[in-house]
């Protein structure tokens, strides 16, 4: 056509598949889509009540409701606001149904209510401080260094099934994942730090970055608790928790312990790798520290927490400022 | 030529938005019709407060109708107007801008999925009722024909010939202040909606930074029409540690948009569906090189005057963009090619073409307003889109 036609056409006949790091990078975005969330489903249910039946369109819940609903102790208020909104619709419907003998809208409204009732538990679970964390904060927080304990993982993480799946959260540079894999485990690495996950997955492809061990694992770039929540019950032989346990506040720590218990097989092992609080505070920039929901707790406190949430505590190891508290899910 | 009270050519559109390809197209047609002395009003399903003074509710047309009127339905999304039009007797022109396939919205907004699915059904329903289908590209013309429209023609959206004006000085200063020395700027223009795939450019920017690429920022100009997507986009940038490098801008005036083009090193458009791609033409007119994903009517609109990619894997897309902005000679070649493309598009005189197309309908409608250029019915693709 024009003189430009030979300039620039790079349409490729066949596009190579995504590299693992790229696939995970895009998956991070896909996981932000609201489908299946309480908000998405509720708004959809309300939208079905609109228009075609001649009433004013559903204008949506108050714009700040969902943000308010994410704070602690506001679950009841959120549900209350939703129920009030539904009640308004139902009151109008009742009149209309009586007048017209049409039950379409009423059925849709009841669908919405039933859905809401079924999801209240999920709703409450979603109202967690973790959801309010400052984005990418994990990248600015010190992570415990296993040091000599790294190669002794087979000793401090006693797996009843040596070939079972171990969740390594947060896997960092993948060194522990590699050690676990060498011991025969299938390893699922999880890390919320996109740059870390990218580096681990793409070590060979990215020039100029430090060499990292070749890790035969799946790596998911997400918060550990979210991956545990989405995991199948009794599916893991072992779980290692690092980083997330030091940043989470106390309810977050309890929630992590509960989420691990749900996903471990009977007799499965959990290791909580935590930093000495003083060392953590020394290494954590002051500004970052103030943004964190929580700080490390003593290994004795972890032992008590795990015991009270149904684990058999096996012991604590210490190397420098790092403590590893190991426990087993009771059979 | 009809007087103000005589039969006219009236447009219907679900909502009339400023700074929107369809909205600006509607306003440009109204202006053209007014210039030709033809009465022309705009009717809407829902009023946009910003343009409410320019529109009337579509039901009001029932009282406004004059024998000999022609109705032009601007079709880009579903609306009650379609069903209402089936019951009208006036000659109908469907000006089709393309419908985003519903599956793009599945994970984001089920209401839009239903709306888009209904929209495609409405397009089919209106086919036998339409005297003419005007498509914005050959691609959308093929969609019309496949849907049963017997007479179609292609006329580019008039918004594509819009001049943005001089860059807004305050905006330019702001963009330059926040632009550190030597920082390059990627620009995307388009609604914040899933089919626009802005997040894939954010991912490419991340890959670019991870690969040790030149310091770069990414400006996204577009209305947050799918709020869930817009919010996810912002959070995605934050999660990737790119909050400072990704800037979302909306509600810009034409001159503020011109300022964005002024500072841009490249326009990156990776939509999964485009019925025309107005930003492609804007960028070429503003002398900004284009890297675009080959989807919908993009190749057709670009006409070879940009880098058309079939691969938008993050690293690959980043490398392609880099190969443009890091090569002055290549940039210069692309800019010149873009300028030539715009000249070719302008030579086609979309304004005359659309009046001529409408004229074919008014000419065969007894008592209808006569338009300049009215004549025998046009055949499919009668506008020389390929230049």
pLDDT higher than threshold 50 for residue A128: no
CA dihedral A110, A116, A118, A122 (to 10 degrees): 170
Cβ within 8 Å, pair B303-A194: no
Q: Model confidence at B122, in pLDDT bands (50, 70, 90)?
A: very high
- Residue B306's pLDDT band, with cuts at 50, 70 and 90, is very high
**Statement: residue B312 has pLDDT above 50:** yes
Contact partners, residue A64, CB within 8 Å, separation at least 6: none
Measuring CA to CA, how many Å separate B280 from each of A6, A78, B188, B303, B309?
18, 44, 10, 10, 14
- Which chain A positions have a beta carbon within 8 Å of B212's beta carbon? 207-208
The secondary structure of A160-190 as a DSSP string is SSTTSEEEEET-TTSHHHHHHHHTT-EEEEE
Domain limits of chain B? 9-156+348-363, 169-346
- From the list A24, A197, A201, A200, the residue with the least C-alpha distance to B203 is A24
Contact B5, B39 (CB under 8 A): yes
Which of A2, A15, A135 is nearest residue B337 as measured by Cβ atoms? A2
- CA of B318 to nearest chain A CA: how many angstroms apart? 12
Q: What whole-number distance in Å separates Cα of residue B260 and Cα of residue B176?
A: 10
Residue B382 DSSP symbol: -
What are the φ/ψ torsions at residue B40 (nearest 5 degrees)? -155, 120
What local confidence, expressed as pLDDT, does residue B285 receive? Answer: 95
How far apart CA A277 and CA A292 sit, in angstroms, is 13
What's residue B198's pLDDT? Answer: 98
CA distance from start to end of chain A: 74
CB B76 within 8 A of CB B26: no
For the segment A188-237, what is each residue's pLDDT rounded down to a tens digit? Answer: 999 999 999 888 887 644 433 344 455 546 889 999 998 998 889 999 99
Mean pLDDT of chain B: 89
Q: Which of A5, A28, A207 sits opposite B304 (nearest CB)?
A: A5
Strands A311-319 and A322-329: antiparallel
CA distance A38 to A50: 19
pLDDT-derived band of residue B321, with 50, 70 and 90 as boundaries?
very high
Nearest CA in chain A to B332: A7
- Asked whether the beta carbons of residue A28 and residue B210 sit closer than 8 angstroms, the reply is no
Q: Do A12 and B311 touch (CB under 8 A)?
A: yes
| Lateral strand order in the sheet of A322-329 | A217-220, A186-190, A165-169, A236-242, A264-275, A322-329, A311-319
**In this predicted structure, what is the pLDDT of residue A67?**
56
**Which residue is closest to A131 within chain B, CA to CA?**
B235
- Burial of A70 from C-beta contacts in 10 A (0-12 / 13-18 / 19+): middle
> How far, in Å, CA of A278 to CA of B216, rounded?
38
DSSP string, B289-348: -EEEE--TTHHHHHTTSSEEES---HHHHHHHHHHHHT-HHHHHHHHHHHHHHHHHHHHT
Interface touch A136/B238, C-beta < 8 Å: yes
Three-state SS at A32:
coil
**Res A71: pLDDT:** 46
Is A1 in the B-facing interface, judged by CB distances under 8 Å?
Answer: yes
Identify the residue with better confidence: B265 or A110. Answer: B265
A111 pLDDT exceeds 80? no
**Burial of B212 per CB tally in 10 Å (0-12, 13-18, 19+):** exposed
Q: Which of 3.40.50.150, 3.10.20.600, 2.120.10.30, 3.40.50.1820 is the CATH number of A137-329?
A: 3.40.50.150
B169-346 has CATH 3.30.230.10 classification: no
Q: Report the pLDDT averaged over residues A272-284.
A: 95
Judge: B228–A33 Cβ closer than 8 Å, yes or no. Answer: yes
pLDDT at residue A136 in the model: 81
CA angle B233, B236, B241 (to 5 degrees): 130
Question: Would you give the DSSP letter of residue B17?
Answer: -
Q: Does B212 touch chain A (CB under 8 A)?
A: yes
Q: What whole-number distance in Å separates Cα of residue B156 and Cα of residue B97? A: 9
Q: Say what the alpha-carbon torsion angle B142, B144, B147, B152 is, to the nearest 10 degrees.
A: -100
Q: Is B320 on the interface with A (CB under 8 A)?
A: yes
Residue B370's pLDDT band (boundaries 50, 70, 90)? low
DSSP A257-302: HHHHHHHEEEEEEEEEEEE-HHHHHHHS-HHHHHH-S-----HHHH
**Which pLDDT does position A63 carry in this prediction?**
59
Note which residues in 322-341 of chain B have CB less than 8 A from chain A.
330, 333-334, 336-338, 340-341
pLDDT at A130: 42
The percent of residues in chain B predicted with pLDDT above 70, rounded, is: 91
User: Measured over all CA atoms, what is the biggest interatomic distance in chain B, rounded to whole angstroms?
Assistant: 68
Q: Report the pLDDT value the prediction gives residue B226, as an integer from 0 to 100.
A: 86
Q: How far apart are CA B386 and CA A93, in angstroms?
A: 55
pLDDT of A126 above 60? no
CA-CA distance, B71 to B33, in Å (whole number)?
13
Q: Is A35 on the interface with B (CB under 8 A)?
A: yes
Superfamily for the B9-156+348-363 domain: Glycogen Phosphorylase B; (3.40.50.2000)
**A/B interface, count of CB pairs below 8 Å:** 140
Residue A286 near chain B (CB below 8 Å): no
pLDDT for residue A174: 86
Taking CA atoms, B77 is separated from B98, B99, B342, in Å, by 8, 6, 28
Residue A51, burial from CB neighbour count under 10 angstroms (0-12, 13-18, 19+)? middle
Chain B: residue nearest A9 by CA?
B308
Sign of CA dihedral B333, B337, B340, B346: negative
Give the pLDDT of residue B163: 85
pLDDT at A245 over 60: yes
pLDDT bin (cut points 50, 70, 90) of residue A238 is very high
Contacts of A208 in chain B (CB under 8 A): 212
User: Looking at the predicted structure, is the pLDDT value of residue A54 above 80?
Assistant: no
Confirm or reject contact between B344 and chain A (CB < 8 A). Answer: yes
Instruction: Tell me the three state secondary structure of residue B42.
Output: strand
Query: Residues A253-271: pLDDT tens digits?
Result: 999 999 999 999 999 999 9
Predicted pLDDT at A72:
39
Best B208, B239, B321, B343 member to test A by mutation, with max A CBs in 10 Å, is: B239
Q: Which residues of A touch B336 (CB under 8 A)?
A: 4
pLDDT at A5 over 50: no
Using CB atoms, pick whichever of B107, B299, B336 lies closest to residue A33.
B107
Give the C-alpha separation, B204 to A25, whole Å.
10
Residue A327 exposed, middle or buried by CB count within 10 Å (0-12, 13-18, 19+): buried
**Where do the domains of chain A lie?**
38-127, 137-329
User: Average of pLDDT values for B214-233?
Assistant: 92
Instruction: Give the pLDDT band (50/70/90) at residue B271.
Output: very high
Q: Quick check: A249 contacting B, CB < 8 Å?
A: no
How far does B344 lie from chain A, in Å, by closest CA? 9
Cis peptide before B81 (omega within 30 of 0): no
Q: Provide CB contacts within 8 A for A313, sequence distance 6+.
A: A303, A306, A307, A325, A326, A327
Residue with tokens 């300022």: B259
- Tokens representing residue B356 in the block: 């001529």
| Least confident stretch, A36-40, A73-77, B16-20, B59-63 | A73-77
Nearest CB to A33 within list B114, B232, B309: B232
CA dihedral B99, B103, B104, B106 (to 10 degrees): 130
Residues B34-73: tens digit of each pLDDT: 998 899 999 999 999 989 999 999 999 999 999 999 999 9
CA of A189 vs chain B CAs: smallest distance (Å)? 18
A33 touches chain B (CB under 8 A): yes
A301 CB-side CA count, 13 A:
14
Whether A131 has a pLDDT exceeding 50, the answer reads no
Residue B267's pLDDT band (cuts 50, 70, 90): very high
- Cβ–Cβ < 8 Å for B36, B58: no
Please report, rounded to a whole number, the percentage of residues in chain B having pLDDT higher than 90: 65
Give the per-residue pLDDT at A60: 59
Per mean pLDDT, which range of A126-140, A301-315, B122-136, B249-263 is the poorest?
A126-140
What is residue A203's predicted lDDT score, i.e. its pLDDT? 65
Of A211-220, B28-37, B124-133, the range with the lowest mean pLDDT is A211-220
């Amino acid at each position: 056509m024009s003189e430009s036609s030979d300039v620039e056409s790079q349409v490729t006949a066949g596009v190579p598949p995504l590299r693992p790091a790229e696939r995970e990078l895009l998956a991070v975005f896909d996981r932000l889509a609201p489908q299946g969330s309480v908000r998405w489903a509720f708004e959809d249910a309300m939208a079905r009540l609109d228009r075609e039946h001649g009433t004013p369109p559903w204008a949506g819940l108050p714009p700040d409701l969902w943000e308010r609903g994410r704070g602690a102790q506001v679950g009841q208020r959120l549900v209350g606001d939703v129920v009030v909104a539904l009640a308004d619709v139902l009151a109008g419907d009742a009149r209309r149904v009586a007048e017209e003998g049409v039950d379409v809208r009423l059925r849709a409204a009841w669908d919405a209510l039933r859905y809401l009732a079924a999801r209240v538990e999920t709703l409450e679970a979603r109202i967690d401080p973790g959801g309010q964390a400052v984005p990418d904060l994990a990248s600015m927080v010190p992570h415990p260094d296993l040091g000599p304990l790294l190669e002794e993982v087979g000793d401090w993480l006693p797996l009843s099934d040596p070939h079972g799946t171990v969740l390594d959260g947060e896997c960092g540079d993948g060194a522990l994942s590699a050690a676990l894999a060498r011991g025969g485990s299938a390893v699922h690495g999880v890390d919320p730090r996109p740059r870390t996950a990218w580096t681990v997955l793409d070590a060979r492809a990215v020039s100029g970055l430090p060499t990292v061990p070749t890790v035969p694992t799946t790596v998911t770039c997400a918060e550990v608790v979210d991956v545990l929540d989405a995991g199948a019950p009794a599916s893991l032989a072992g779980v290692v928790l690092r980083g997330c346990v030091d940043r989470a506040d106390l309810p977050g720590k309890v929630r992590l312990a509960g989420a691990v218990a749900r996903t471990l097989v009977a007799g499965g092992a959990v290791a909580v790798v935590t930093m000495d609080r003083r060392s953590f505070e020394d290494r954590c920039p002051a500004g970052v520290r103030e943004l964190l929901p929580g700080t490390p707790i003593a290994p004795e406190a972890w032992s008590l927490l795990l015991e009270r949430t149904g684990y058999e505590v096996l012991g604590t190891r210490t190397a420098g400022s790092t403590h590893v508290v190991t426990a087993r899910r009771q059979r | 030529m009809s007087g103000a009270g005589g039969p006219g050519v009236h447009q219907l559109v679900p909502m009339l938005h400023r700074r929107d390809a369809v909205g600006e197209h509607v306003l440009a047609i109204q202006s053209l019709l007014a210039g030709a002395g033809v009465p022309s009003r705009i009717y809407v399903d829902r009023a946009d407060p910003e343009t409410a003074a320019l529109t009337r509710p579509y039901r009001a047309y029932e009282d406004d109708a004059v024998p000999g009127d022609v109705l032009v339905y601007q079709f880009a999304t579903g609306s009650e107007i379609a069903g209402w039009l089936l019951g009208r007797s006036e000659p109908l022109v469907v000006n089709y801008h393309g419908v985003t396939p519903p599956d793009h919205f599945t994970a984001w907004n089920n209401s839009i999925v239903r709306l888009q699915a209904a929209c495609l059904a409405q397009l089919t329903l209106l086919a036998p009722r339409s005297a003419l289908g005007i498509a914005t590209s050959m691609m959308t013309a093929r969609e019309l024909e496949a849907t049963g429209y017997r007479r179609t023609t292609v006329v580019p959206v008039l918004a594509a010939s819009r001049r943005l004006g001089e860059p807004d000085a305050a905006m330019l200063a702001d963009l330059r202040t926040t632009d550190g020395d030597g920082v390059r700027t990627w620009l995307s223009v388009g609604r914040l909606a899933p089919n626009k795939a802005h997040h894939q450019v954010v991912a490419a920017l991340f890959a670019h930074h991870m690969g040790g690429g030149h310091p770069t920022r990414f400006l996204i100009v577009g209305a947050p029409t799918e709020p869930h997507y817009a919010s996810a986009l912002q959070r995605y940038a934050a999660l990737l540690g790119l909050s400072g490098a990704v800037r979302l801008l909306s509600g810009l005036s034409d001159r503020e948009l011109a300022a964005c083009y002024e500072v841009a090193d490249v326009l990156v458009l990776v939509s999964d569906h485009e019925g025309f791609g107005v930003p492609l033409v804007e960028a070429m007119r503003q002398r900004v090189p284009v890297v675009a994903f080959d989807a919908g009517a993009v190749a057709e609109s670009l006409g070879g005057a940009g880098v058309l990619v079939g691969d938008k894997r993050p690293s690959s897309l980043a490398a392609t963009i880099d190969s443009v902005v890091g090569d002055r000679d290549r940039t210069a070649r692309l800019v010149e090619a873009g300028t030539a493309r715009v000249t070719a598009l302008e030579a086609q005189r979309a304004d005359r073409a659309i009046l001529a197309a409408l004229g074919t309908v008014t000419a065969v409608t007894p008592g209808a307003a006569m338009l300049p250029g009215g004549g025998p019915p046009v055949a499919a693709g009668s506008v020389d889109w390929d230049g």
